[in-house]
Structure 1
Amino acid sequence: MHTSDMSLRERNRVDTWTAIHNAAAELALEHGWTATTVDKIAAQAGVSKRTFFNYFPSKEDAILGAQDPTLPDADLAAFYASEEDLIHRTVTLTMAVMRASYPYDQNRPRRRELIKKVPELSSRMKHLAAAVEQVVEPVVRAELERIAEDSQTQFNQSTEDAAQALTLYATTIIRFAFSKNPTTLSETGTDSISSAITTFREVIQTSTWLS
């Protein structure tokens, strides 16, 4: 959503969120993890400690500009409406949930720098990745159950195991795409994702042929 489309209240909320995130990121880059405290972040952002916690549950999230993953309604509707196969749809849905974890994100290069310079952030990054999978997996499982019912087909494995495998597979494709193109998580990164999906399909086909 562009700021021009927002109400005054929403713009103020975004401005406050951005001020806290910028203060946290700048302090972490300049002074390191231990010296970056919630008190210092709030002071630099010009907000109270109470306001800080209204926007971020921890300094990790403030530094990263992150929030717990959510499933946007529009992306869920697109998942069901898409005519792509389930692998492609799962990758696309996972990407949407990942993007929702970093709202109003204008500083991806800075985040990459933060992750390199502040290793303490890695545990939160892993937690966020696991949380994304927990959001996506039930949707995939329900879709597998629907497909099985509609086609009157029984899977060789449980739909729970199949959904977990497919969700992890989607995450792996995204990680591969990101390793090739760090802008993959942006809204313009769809070509990188499509290319990564194609690469994985070709590798699997080749592996089957060589076995």
Structure 2
Amino acid sequence: MLLLAVDTATPAVTVALHDGGSLLAAESAVDARRHGELLLPAVDRVLTGAGVKLDAVTDVVVGVGPGPYTGLRVGLVTALSFGSALGVPVRGLCTLDGLAYAAGLDEPFAVATDARRKEVYWARYADSRTRLTDPAVDRPAELAEALAGLPVVGAGGLLYPDAFPDARGPEHQSAAALAALAAAKLAAGGDFLPPLPLYLRRPDAQVPKNYKVVTPK
């Protein structure tokens, strides 16, 4: 088994290679505006660092979000392209689940990432492996009472300390954690999500209202 994991659903462009038992190589960079520019070179460096060729990969794992429209597409399109070229399965995982797994908590908590527009993407967990709620997007003030007393992992918690006083790291997504979670799920016969984007809301870019179509006379 050789898992290649990628995630671009958050500002982190993150890649990892896992052999089912241990992490072989990983790389992450935080830059919300350069997902497309950074991802493929990172994949190349991770493969080179592990001393393997791309055609040795047996499974591709991708974070499906929730996340902003443009960044999220980069990772998904790349993962699907690799899967098609190599003839291997592409397995989706919720990006929030990767952060939860990286946190390693054995108590109830929540994960929150930055959704922009003064909102967060979030979900509740019983522990680092068990999500209790579907991912959602809300304003922090609307969640403060519901999540009171719970640790909140991720950049969304750290951005809004008034709403989430027990905010904790890790701040950013890690493909290393995503790959380790995927390896554990594969070993246990667990289910994966389809490699489709989990947006939760419409893209920031919209066609202007009252758009006038100009046609030649």
| Structure holding more strand per residue | 2
User: Comparing both structures, which one devotes a greater share of its residues to helix?
Assistant: 1
